[in-house]
Homo-oligomer: A and B are copies of this chain.
Amino acid sequence: MNATAPRPTPASSYAPLQNDTFIRACLRQATEHTPVWLMRQAGRYLPEYRATRALAGSFMGLATNTDYATEVTLQPLERYPLDAAILFSDILTVPDAMGLGLSFALGEGPKFAHPVRDEAAVAQLAVPDMDKLRYVFDAVTSIRRALNGRVPLIGFSGSPWTLACYMVEGAGSDDYRLVKTMMYSRPDLMHRMLQINADAVAAYLNAQIEAGAQAVMIFDSWGGVLADGAFQQFSLAYTARVLAQLKRSHDGVTIPRIVFTKGGGLWLQQMAELDCEVLGLDWTVNLAQARALVGHSKALQGNIDPNVLFANPTQITDQVRQVLDSFGAPHAGAGQGPTHIFNLGHGISQHTPPDHVAALVAAVHSHSRNLRSGR
């Protein structure tokens, strides 16, 4: 084993999983409590994260350094009994590897030096050499090793549509004017870009799986900005194209696949047809209704409003109970049945008080045990 450049390792050589609650819930198998992890759980709300980031100098400095990425991925697990870890990285690594020049200005969101806005720029796009993303796969292997079987490690990518939004806009947007202008006026270019993105995302996630990721999640953060009709054509179809290419298992172990479309609650019935194990939901969705629509085919993940974490711990506990109760009693017997993975409906805010997160995690574990014992 080369310590400076970790290489993919057979699953059998890693320590066995001590807490497989998250994986079992993904596969719709009974668990003793509802597993919980938080989108962006390794992040700026943690003082230890801010300290490491200061050492790294920049966000990409953190993400591209195996030791730093490993360190910050594990930080929230030291504080809270979370049931899964998620790779510390960014959803935009793939277009960066395509040569678009990703950077994060201080206090601002991501930015691309070379946005894709015309036919010539689209013509130059191609699935990147996965070697350019080696730093991500190295981080996955390093984190998996550091976790030492404590909890499973989730890999992830942005969805083809969400990547396209950033690739065309060049940055975040509040109206998606540029990307939608291309979509409505040059659908041929948009489809070409989305095909390339889908194939790149599939190769990227498969490489994460080979490097040690035990589940993968596709973040369709901007699917919800699309019109009905356009969503199916320009987001859902390309998420399906990714899923069709993903490895179902690695070294004989099933790799659950999670799809999260923020603002996608209106399309749940169509998303229920996706070839994946879990659907992520934001806070606008009623879990009982979602369970009735898709609960028989997929596990559900979500969906508390991250702003609940600004209330006091007693109020947080009460809101956690409401979310758990809205899903209802989870599957408790043998075989498969409805399961719930607790999460936020969006990434945690950088302003969140860390002790409030402790209250949330404790409430999920204790109330979900009570639900199972009929209390």
Contact = CB atoms under 8 A, between A and B. Distances in A.
Nearest to A226: B284
Contacts of A176: 307
Given A266-B265, A310-B184, A351 B284 contact: no
Interface string A290-305: 0000000000000011
A158 B15 CA distance: 57
B310 A177 contact: yes
A322 B14 CA distance: 54
Given A228-B284, A230-B305, A349-B175, A181 B265 contact: no
Nearest to A181: B310
B185 A312 contact: yes
A97 interface: no
A356 B46 CA distance: 49
B307 A181 contact: yes
Contacts of A228: 283-286, 326
A180 interface: yes
Interface in A198-244: 224, 226-231
A263 interface: yes
Contacts of A229: 286, 322, 326
A226 B285 CA distance: 10
Give the number of times this chain occurs in the complex, counting copies. Answer: 2
A88 B213 CA distance: 55
A55 interface: no
Interface in A17-72: none
A75 interface: no
Query: For A181, A284, A305, which residue has the most chain B Cβ atoms within 10 angstroms?
Result: A284
Interface string A79-103: 0000000000000000000000000
A176 to B, nearest CB: 7
A139 to B, nearest CB: 28
A285 to B, nearest CB: 6
A345 interface: yes
B349 A177 contact: yes
A336 interface: no
Contacts of A315: 184-185
Given A180-B305, A263-B263, A266-B265, A227 B283 contact: yes
A60 B174 CA distance: 24
A308 interface: yes
6 contacts: A176-B307, A177-B310, A180-B310, A184-B307, A227-B283, A228-B285
Interface of A: 174-177, 180-181, 184-185, 224, 226-231, 263, 265-266, 283-286, 304-305, 307-308, 310-312, 315, 319, 322, 326, 345, 349, 351
Given A176-B307, A177-B307, A184-B305, 17 more contacts: A180-B305, A180-B307, A181-B307, A181-B310, A181-B311, A184-B315, A185-B315, A227-B284, A228-B283, A228-B284, A228-B285, A228-B326, A229-B326, A230-B305, A231-B284, A263-B284, A266-B285
